[in-house]
Amino acid sequence: MQDTPPLLVEYVTPEPGTARLVLTGELDYTTVDEAAEEADKVLADNPRVIELDLAGLRFVDSSGIAVVMNLYRGAEERGAAFRIVALTTYLRHLLQVISLDDVFDLPEQASG
């Protein structure tokens, strides 16, 4: 039996006009609906800046990457800045392999 849910999604506003989604756990086809729902809430609030904190993710599959891309596109459509503020070494490598490091400005340091 698992002690923690496979994905925790926290929506925070670190400062006015900024929305941050903090994802912890595993972002895959079994958890993507929860993440997509929170991403839709962020977009509906129409912030000037949208941030993603991915430092707590242990695993991401293609459906998880799709959520990130949909949030990015939604930010662009609304004229909001989009940035990834934290990620793991694993995710940095994954984003580089699929060439998304050309799309996103990745933070300098990665954890884990």
Sequence spans of domains, the chain:
7-102
pLDDT of residue 3: 58
The reply to whether CATH 3.30.750.24 applies to domain 7-102 is yes
pLDDT of residue 108: 81
Q: Are 32 and 66 in contact (CB under 8 A)?
A: yes
Segment 60-85, tens digit of pLDDT:
999 999 999 999 999 999 999 999 99
Segment 24-60, tens digit of pLDDT:
999 999 999 999 999 999 999 999 999 999 999 999 9
What pTM was computed for the model?
Answer: 0.90
